[in-house]
């Protein structure tokens, strides 16, 4: 009898212990699940500035709230950045010893560690990008009217491979008295690079190799006085879209995949007919992940609060149509970007010193201001962790 009772007690203890362990596992699983949900709702945002370096924010994917601002890199001339595919390295415009330069930072372990930097012979870069194979870093020098390329290996930036001086002018004597290279991008096939130049109304065209050497192949003319600034490619690479800063338009081009040649298709205003557009200019262009919509940022050069965002629809043949223009909720939207989820468009307000979030309706492409913002001094460029 005593043995039975002891065995019963042992059995009860064992059963109780098993139930306790199972209960603890459920609690741990629930906690892990909650952590996963929290992480899924939060996306890290990198903000380049015209003030004092690079900042990070956290975007709440559910509400659009922007929080936890951190000043992660201190430096000059860090108004534009590009990340590699893994999101482990960020390349940035930079000024070193008072000269134009580029810099690379490792993001491993959540820390920003400078890996390398390189000076070039120019006034300073307004735009950087990397090719698909991550072998070449490109830069555009607006003030000097030139583009530059560097070989890269991981985060190591080599000495200048090519420095290409643009030449010419166009019809707007105030803004187009000479070349003003505004951006440069590797094409979808990773054989050619395209460089919109506001000053000469052209998209300059280059071949490039794995060492970063550029070969001038001419260029593609824009409408006189349009001032091409930035561009993006369509989902399948057969179309390109150029944002024209001076005429407040987007020009769609068909693109030959073999030769890389661009052929102009149609040009659409980023504003509805009859809108007041005096002293307004365009700054940035983005294409939705499905390729169906284009977003632009439009800057009010006065203090009248007309800064805005525009949505264009893209037809199957690549032609464009204006859908809506809505307030940007910032002063001077220098840059915009779409979150990896595609649910949010973030806007960098250069003169209002803030970043705002706008919800995207993926079916219609239209956007609505979330009412959320975060203070960032002279916010100029937005990227997302990958």
- Residue 40: predicted pLDDT: 55
Torsion angle (degrees, nearest 10) of CA 79, 85, 86, 90:
-20
- Residue 348 burial (C-beta neighbours within 10 Å; 0-12, 13-18, 19+): buried
Span 295-318, average pLDDT: 96
Contacts of 265 (CB under 8 A, 6+ apart): 239, 251, 252, 253, 254, 317, 318, 319
- Closest by CA position to 86, among listed 155, 186, 188, 149: 155
**Band of the pLDDT at 22, cuts 50, 70, 90?**
low
- Residue 19: predicted pLDDT: 42
Q: Nearest 5 degrees, angle CA 296-CA 354-CA 360?
A: 40
**Percent with pLDDT over 90 in the chain:** 88
**Percent with pLDDT over 70 in the chain:** 90
Whether the CA torsion 132, 135, 139, 145 is positive or negative: it is negative
Least confident range of 6-10, 129-133, 378-382:
6-10
**Band of the pLDDT at 33, cuts 50, 70, 90?**
very low
Neighbours of 370 (CB within 10 A): 18
- Residue 110: predicted pLDDT: 84
Mean pLDDT of the chain: 92
Least confident range of 37-51, 221-235, 248-262, 332-346:
37-51
**Paired tokens of 331:** 């002063």
Residue 201's φ and ψ, nearest 5 degrees, are 55, 50
**Paired tokens of 39:** 């992480």
Q: Pick 80-269's CATH classification: 3.40.50.2300, 2.130.10.10, 3.30.70.360, 3.40.630.30.
A: 2.130.10.10
Across 67-84, b (16+ Cβ under 10 Å) vs e yields: eebeebbebbbbbbbbbb
3-state secondary structure 115-138: EEEEECCCCCCCEEEECCCCCEEE
Q: Are 216 and 203 in contact (CB under 8 A)?
A: no
Q: Compute the chain's Rg from CA coordinates.
A: 25
Distance CA 192, CA 205 (A): 7
Q: What is the pLDDT of residues 238-286, one digit of tens each?
A: 999 999 999 999 999 999 999 999 999 999 999 999 999 999 999 999 9
Phi-psi region of 374 (alpha: psi -120 to 50; beta: other; left: phi over 0): beta
- Closest by CA position to 270, among listed 239, 299, 302, 292: 299
- Closest by CA position to 261, among listed 314, 316, 317, 217: 217
Span 299-317, average pLDDT: 96
Q: How far is it between the farthest Cα atoms of the chain?
A: 108
- Residue 23: predicted pLDDT: 54
**Band of the pLDDT at 295, cuts 50, 70, 90?**
very high
**Band of the pLDDT at 109, cuts 50, 70, 90?**
confident
Helix (H) or strand (E) holding 264: strand 262-269
**Residue spans per domain, the chain:** 80-269
Span 61-76, average pLDDT: 97
Q: Nearest 5 degrees, angle CA 128-CA 130-CA 135?
A: 135
CA within 13 Å, CB half, 201: 16
Residue 125, pLDDT > 70, answer: yes
- Closest by CA position to 212, among listed 152, 156, 140: 152
- C-alpha 215: how far from chain center: 26
- Closest by CA position to 149, among listed 167, 165, 164: 164
Residue 38, pLDDT > 60, answer: no
**Paired tokens of 323:** 């859908």
Q: What is the pLDDT of residues 168-212, one digit of tens each?
A: 999 999 999 999 999 999 999 999 999 999 999 999 999 999 999
- Residue 68: predicted pLDDT: 97
Span 19-36, average pLDDT: 47
First to last CA, the chain: 67
Span 67-91, average pLDDT: 97
């Amino acid at each position: 009898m005593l043995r039975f009772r002891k065995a019963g007690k042992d059995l009860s203890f064992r059963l109780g212990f098993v139930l306790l362990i199972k209960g603890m596992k459920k609690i741990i699983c629930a906690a892990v699940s909650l952590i996963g949900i929290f992480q899924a709702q939060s996306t890290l945002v990198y903000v380049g500035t015209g003030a004092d370096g690079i900042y990070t924010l956290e975007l709440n994917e559910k509400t659009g709230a922007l929080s936890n601002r951190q000043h992660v890199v201190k430096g000059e001339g860090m108004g534009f950045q590009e990340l590699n595919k893994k999101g482990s390295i960020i390349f940035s415009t930079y000024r070193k010893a008072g000269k134009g330069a580029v810099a690379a930072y490792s993001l491993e372990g959540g820390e920003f560690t400078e890996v390398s930097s390189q000076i070039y012979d120019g006034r300073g870069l307004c735009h950087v990008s990397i090719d698909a194979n991550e072998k070449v870093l490109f830069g555009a020098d607006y003030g000097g009217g030139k583009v530059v390329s560097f070989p890269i290996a991981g985060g190591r930036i080599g000495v200048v491979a090519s420095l290409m001086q643009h030449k010419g002018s166009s019809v707007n004597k105030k803004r187009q008295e000479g070349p003003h290279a505004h951006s440069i991008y590797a094409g979808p096939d990773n054989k050619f690079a395209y460089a919109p130049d506001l000053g000469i109304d052209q998209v300059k065209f280059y071949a490039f190799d794995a060492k970063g050497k550029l070969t001038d192949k001419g260029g593609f003319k824009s409408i006189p006085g349009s001032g091409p600034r930035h561009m993006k490619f369509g989902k399948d690479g057969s179309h390109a879209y150029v944002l024209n800063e001076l005429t407040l338009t987007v020009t769609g081009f068909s693109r030959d995949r073999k030769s890389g040649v661009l052929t102009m298709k149609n040009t659409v205003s980023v504003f509805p007919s009859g809108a007041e557009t005096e002293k307004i200019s365009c700054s940035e262009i983005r294409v939705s992940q499905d390729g169906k919509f284009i977003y632009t940022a439009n800057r009010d050069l006065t203090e009248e609060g007309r800064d805005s965002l525009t949505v264009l629809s893209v037809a199957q043949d690549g032609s464009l149509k204006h859908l809506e223009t809505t307030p940007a909720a910032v002063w001077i939207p220098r840059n915009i970007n779409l979150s990896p989820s595609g649910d949010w468009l973030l806007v960098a307000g250069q003169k209002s010193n803030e970043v705002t979030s706008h919800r995207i309706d993926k079916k219609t492409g239209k956007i609505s201001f979330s009412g959320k913002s975060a203070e960032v001094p002279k916010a100029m460029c937005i990227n997302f962790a990958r």
